[in-house]
Structure 1
Amino acid sequence: MILLSSLDFSLPLRNPVVIFSLVLFIILFAPILFHKIKVPHIIGLIIAGVIVGPYGLNLLKRDSSIVLFGTVGLIYIMFLAGLEIDLAEFKRNRMRIFVFGMLTFLFPLLVGTLASYYLLGFGFLSSLLLASMFSTHTLVSYPLLSRYGVIRNRAVSMTVGGTMITDILALLILAGVAGMTKENVSTAFWLQLTVSTMVFVIIVFAVFPLVIEWFFKHFEDGVSQYIFVLAMVFLASFMAEAAGLEAIIGAFFSGLVLNKFVPHESPLMGRIDFVGNALFIPFFLISVGMLVDITVLIRGWGALKVAGIILFVALLTKYLAAWCTQKIFKLSPLEGKMIFGLSSSHAAATLAIILVGYNIIIGETASGEPIRLLNEDVLNGTILLILVSCGVSSFVVESAAKTMAMKEGRET
């Protein structure tokens, strides 16, 4: 009784043992329960995050530990995307990747800017920044592909490659808009960004392979090799941030470099898949769910109008980009469906852009209230977009992957 009375059960939970135990039980049982009602396990974990998060039952606070594991999970997803991709197929599809990347960037950017400017009444910079958020996408549903064994499909390669293009271009817009509000964008700024990016790419693709080859030749211990791989991934992610890019770009590039050093059927690959899918990636999905504030639905017409337009534009333009890509390159409808499913989910990069815009103060009202580049209605609408788009993506990708797996099974 004395021991029980000393425990703190106030909400949100603060005991690290209880918190970690709860998260592990969520990772274990959420996929099982949602599978019973035919809901993809990914959306199940996101919904579980909504339920236990600060806007649900308030069991867990989205503190630094949740953010840490969530960030690791996102980086892990992008690393796996580069590691598991078929490099030969990737090279064959480089033109298709470029075309899709530009379409899935430009359609949301153009339509989003017009919708934000004319329908929501935002200024040009606010509209441009909001539209750049529509252009990005996060490969939240990528782990489903491993489950069905369709990672090496060309539609997957195209979408993964397109992700890099959209994120880089959206980041450039973010840097430009943020600089314009502070009046510090100059030729020197863009020159510095270009040079730092070139240095980063040279180090990752020229120096990293030499270091990786040397290490794998001299150290054969499985644990050491796994820790080394993680260290290289996060070093590349840090270097990307230092160059002015997103960490996920560094993670993807490190995956491409490690691709030829880590056989797909090796014990090392098994460790990489197991740890990521068992711990880090579920943590990321739960952390995404903890961001969702469902009370946005009852906050009045303003928030609902913004949320509705954001959802409609984001999903419609991603669908149009996937459909046009399918028609241009004569892909099958199933491949077009896969491209749309993978590219329709918005999470990490989307949230990063919106938070930057929300934190930029461009003036103040007569009463002294700050005027933000992107207001609270946009922030709430974006959080709702994360939930809905991840749900749409999970259902579409699982359906397409399941059909692809069945077809490939019949062909073999």
Structure 2
Amino acid sequence: MDNFLHEISEAFSKPITNPVLVFTIILTIILISPIILRPIKVPGIIGLILFGVLFGPHGLNWLSKIDKVTLQGNGVDAIDLFSTIGLLYIMFIAGLELDMNEFKKTKNKSLLFGFLTFVIPISIGFPVCFYFLGYDLLPSILIASMFATHTLVSYPIVNSYGVSKNEAVAITIGGTILTDTAVLIILAILTGASQGQLDQQFWVTLGVSFAVFLLIMFGIIPKIAKWFFQKIESEKTAHYIFVLAVVFFAAFLAEIAGLEPIIGAFVAGLALNKLIPHSSALMNRIEFIGNAIFIPFFLISVGMIVDVSVLTKGPMALIIAGTLTLVAVTGKFLAATATTILFKYSKNQRNLIFGLSNAHAAATLAVIMVGYDRGIIDENVLNGTILLILVTCIIASLVTENASRKIVVEGHQDDEHVEHVPEHEEQILIPIANLDKMEPILDFATLIKSKKSHHPLNILSVVADNEQAERNMANARRNLDNMARYASGSETEVELLTTIDYNIASGIGRTSKELFADCLILGWPSATSFVEKIVGEKTESILNRTDANLFMCRLDNPFLSHKSITIFVPPLAESEVGFEYWMEKMVKLAQELSIPLMFVCDTRTQSAAEGVLEMVQTSVPFTFNNYEDWDNIFGLATFSNTDALLVFVSARYGEVSYRDSLDGLAKRVGRYFRNQNLILIFPSRRENQHIDDYEDVQTAPIFRKISREIGNMFNKDR
């Protein structure tokens, strides 16, 4: 008993050094921090730092460095290890989440804003640090460069108010690329200078090594990553491990090149940006693990370094903290004001720019931690930076929310009438057919689904009503469970549905009406018998029984194998009810995959498509090619590329844009483009504006079907 009590007291003696207990405490902090601090509106990044201060060596002294774990004779501190990973992770995600299409769209304005929001804070910060606070040259430059960075902490607020497509938001996001990159380069130079290496050889070595580093990261790594994601498509865990390996290899490569590892992590994010869609399961894994473990470890470790008692040792510490905060806020406000004057933005847009660019968090913390570790800055600056982060994050949140609300009141909210269905009410139905082909279809649905919709993806299995219906129903539920497990990888909420019906098409049609489905996503139709061709194939029966937008997909190749999306749009497609809906979905898909759109259509349809693209204010690059001979579908092959995702827009029989050349389009294009991903779109139509919506067998077009099949017998080679 005495031994037991002794072990307990040893384990809980301060500082706690038992690795298991330390990890338990840290995980508990990560768990309860947002729960406790969310009601008082303290940002999560600050909450973890404050808990690090509270439990660290300068607070309750519960947490300290974990005992060294010996690896081949070298001591490795576990908290330092996780903290380093978290720091690299922050910079990697910063590069990965940048919208490169949005940056290209507003490139010139973004560069000008980036220049202003970089130069103005530094121009104010350097003389204040050098002359007023009395710091030496290197610390003054480093602290001033810290003022130039910003983190888009308040971007979710903009998104929730529906003003994320406002140009003021776009240029602020684009300016982040310039400011963060420039500050990281300055950091590399200052690190070299602090070690007394700032001679001619240093500049030559830095220039050559930096060029080689960029060549490897942007010339070689993306090609290897693309090949890996394509060849090892089924091993989802391997994708995440590969990404981690790239991040740490890039960090190591940057260090070899004489740069800071965080520069390597940031560049790794930019290099993999186009290969990892923002709504993909891989992106979800990257963000989830980073936000759950690595980044909180880093933030807590920062808090453990902070010594709050420094602020009580004299007025100088408080003066430094207050001055840093005042300069940071003033510099970003002046930069936002200058941008507003140059581009003639409104006052609310200025506040939006200021709110988004005022928050100093991830990059600021990264720069200051490197400076502190290198001995360039002292404890006063470190503690003052923590106060700066707290104040600027709170100001940013309040200003952004207020400006977003006023912009909405002015009527400048993002256009939501582009879709016929309000985004928050969107219902998507995915009937299961071939289980082997369902995973890419689920990925496709996740990419195009409206993020504002609170409805889950509905996955349906229709069971034939026969003597084996009960057994088939049990098998169907098992299949649905497999799909649900796969969907959970991207945190996609799904609703599993099973129904019994004499006819599969009838079951799908009935469920679609019950759900008020706006979109059906099906696999590519399989080969059918001659009898089915005559009396009505399953796909055609589904078309006849539904009014919703319908996407038929053949997705045998990974999405990242595409360099563009080519959409073939027949004449009068703009007259269909679902025209705007499928246009918006294709734009969303291109946005997620970071690839351009190419439309092949006539001049009238082009005009309508340009109108929709202007309304959605997309940053996706797009081009148009004119084609008039729509009775010759095979002539479209001249516009296709082997690395393009091909999208064919068709129409249900009897609709405005329907023509005979669209008959049997799935079979013909599927046979002609054997090795490419294909999507066939049937736009939605008005309810009850068609015939035969209640019959199992269509009788009206039966003679047309017979003649077409007979004609096919004599045209096999075509």
Q: Does 1:154 align with 2:154?
A: no
Native 8 Å contact 2:239 2:282 kept in 1: yes
Native 8 Å contact 1:104 1:317 kept in 2: yes
3-state secondary structure, aligned to 2:305: coil
2:290 to 267, 276, 288: 276
Change in 2 beyond 3 A, CA 1:162/1:395:
farther
Q: What one-letter code is carried by the residue in structure 2 that aligns with 1:114?
A: P
The 10-residue stretch of structure 1 (293-302 or 105-114) with the greater mean CA deviation from structure 2: 105-114
The 10-residue stretch of structure 1 (283-292 or 158-167) with the greater mean CA deviation from structure 2: 158-167
Equivalent positions of 1:168-317 (< 5 A) are 168-175=184-191, 177-178=193-194, 182=196, 184-219=197-232, 220-317=234-331
| Deviation (angstroms), 1:318 | 3.2
Q: What one-letter code is carried by the residue in structure 2 that aligns with 1:339?
A: L
Equivalent positions of 1:48-67 (< 5 A) are 48-61=51-64, 64-67=77-80
| Deviation (angstroms), 1:226 | 0.8
Structure 2 counterpart of 1:32: 35
Change in 2 beyond 3 A, CA 1:117/1:81:
closer
Native 8 Å contact 2:252 2:261 kept in 1: yes
The 10-residue stretch of structure 1 (236-245 or 299-308) with the greater mean CA deviation from structure 2: 299-308
Structure 2 counterpart of 1:383: 382
1:151 and 1:275 map into 2 onto residues whose CA distance is 26
Change in 2 beyond 3 A, CA 1:134/1:268:
closer
Q: What one-letter code is carried by the residue in structure 1 that aligns with 2:90?
A: I
Q: What one-letter code is carried by the residue in structure 1 that aligns with 2:356?
A: I
Structure 2 counterpart of 1:370: none
| Deviation (angstroms), 1:398 | 3.6
| Deviation (angstroms), 1:188 | 1.9
3-state secondary structure, aligned to 2:133: coil
2:151 to 119, 122, 139: 139
Change in 2 beyond 3 A, CA 1:355/1:267:
closer
Select the structure with the greater relative contact order (CA < 8 A; seq sep ≥ 6).
Answer: 1
1:305 and 1:38 map into 2 onto residues whose CA distance is 26
Change in 2 beyond 3 A, CA 1:403/1:214:
farther
Change in 2 beyond 3 A, CA 1:173/1:202:
closer
2:32 and 2:87 map into 1 onto residues whose CA distance is 21
1:258 and 1:121 map into 2 onto residues whose CA distance is 42
Change in 2 beyond 3 A, CA 1:390/1:271:
same
Equivalent positions of 1:388-399 (< 5 A) are 388-399=387-398
Q: What one-letter code is carried by the residue in structure 1 that aligns with 2:374?
A: V
3-state secondary structure, aligned to 1:139: coil
1:298 and 1:123 map into 2 onto residues whose CA distance is 24
The 10-residue stretch of structure 1 (11-20 or 70-79) with the greater mean CA deviation from structure 2: 70-79
Native 8 Å contact 1:79 1:253 kept in 2: yes
3-state secondary structure, aligned to 1:12: coil
Structure 2 counterpart of 1:17: 20
Native 8 Å contact 2:89 2:294 kept in 1: yes
| Deviation (angstroms), 1:123 | 4.6
Count of aligned residue pairs for this structure pair: 389
Q: What one-letter code is carried by the residue in structure 2 that aligns with 1:33?
A: I
| Deviation (angstroms), 1:243 | 1.5
Q: Deviations over 1:217-262 (max 9, x none)?
A: 2212111111111111111122122212222222222222222222
2:333 to 303, 319, 332: 319
Q: What one-letter code is carried by the residue in structure 1 that aligns with 2:97?
A: E
Question: Whose Rg is larger?
Answer: 2
Q: What one-letter code is carried by the residue in structure 2 that aligns with 1:269?
A: M
> Is the strand fraction higher in 1 or 2?
2
1:238 and 1:150 map into 2 onto residues whose CA distance is 39
What TM-score results when the alignment is normalised by the length of structure 1?
Answer: 0.83
| Deviation (angstroms), 1:57 | 1.0
3-state secondary structure, aligned to 1:85: coil
Structure 2 counterpart of 1:70: 83
1:255 and 1:18 map into 2 onto residues whose CA distance is 34
Change in 2 beyond 3 A, CA 1:121/1:398:
closer
Change in 2 beyond 3 A, CA 1:341/1:106:
closer
Structure 1 counterpart of 2:679: none
Q: Deviations over 1:112-141 (max 9, x none)?
A: 332233323445455445434444x36383
Q: What one-letter code is carried by the residue in structure 2 that aligns with 1:380?
A: E
| Deviation (angstroms), 1:15 | 0.8
1:41 to 40, 44, 50: 44
| Deviation (angstroms), 1:166 | 3.3
Please, which runs of 5 or more residues in structure 2 have no aligned partner?
Answer: 67-76, 417-718
3-state secondary structure, aligned to 1:390: helix
1:164 and 1:348 map into 2 onto residues whose CA distance is 11
Change in 2 beyond 3 A, CA 1:42/1:131:
closer
Q: Does 1:113 align with 2:126?
A: yes
Change in 2 beyond 3 A, CA 1:232/1:273:
same
Native 8 Å contact 1:176 1:185 kept in 2: yes
1:146 and 1:22 map into 2 onto residues whose CA distance is 35
| Deviation (angstroms), 1:21 | 0.9
| Deviation (angstroms), 1:176 | 5.8
Native 8 Å contact 1:79 1:233 kept in 2: yes
Change in 2 beyond 3 A, CA 1:121/1:387:
closer
2:163 and 2:106 map into 1 onto residues whose CA distance is 16
1:328 and 1:140 map into 2 onto residues whose CA distance is 22
2:86 and 2:152 map into 1 onto residues whose CA distance is 10
| Deviation (angstroms), 1:194 | 0.5
| Deviation (angstroms), 1:383 | 1.9
2:4 and 2:19 map into 1 onto residues whose CA distance is 16
| Deviation (angstroms), 1:203 | 0.5
Q: What one-letter code is carried by the residue in structure 2 that aligns with 1:117?
A: F
Native 8 Å contact 2:158 2:400 kept in 1: no
The 10-residue stretch of structure 1 (157-166 or 24-33) with the greater mean CA deviation from structure 2: 157-166
| Deviation (angstroms), 1:404 | 8.1
3-state secondary structure, aligned to 2:284: helix
Change in 2 beyond 3 A, CA 1:292/1:319:
farther
Change in 2 beyond 3 A, CA 1:344/1:35:
closer
2:262 and 2:336 map into 1 onto residues whose CA distance is 22
Equivalent positions of 1:329-408 (< 5 A) are 329-331=343-345, 332-343=349-360, 346-358=364-376, 379-399=378-398, 407=408
> Is the helix fraction higher in 1 or 2?
1
1:106 and 1:354 map into 2 onto residues whose CA distance is 23
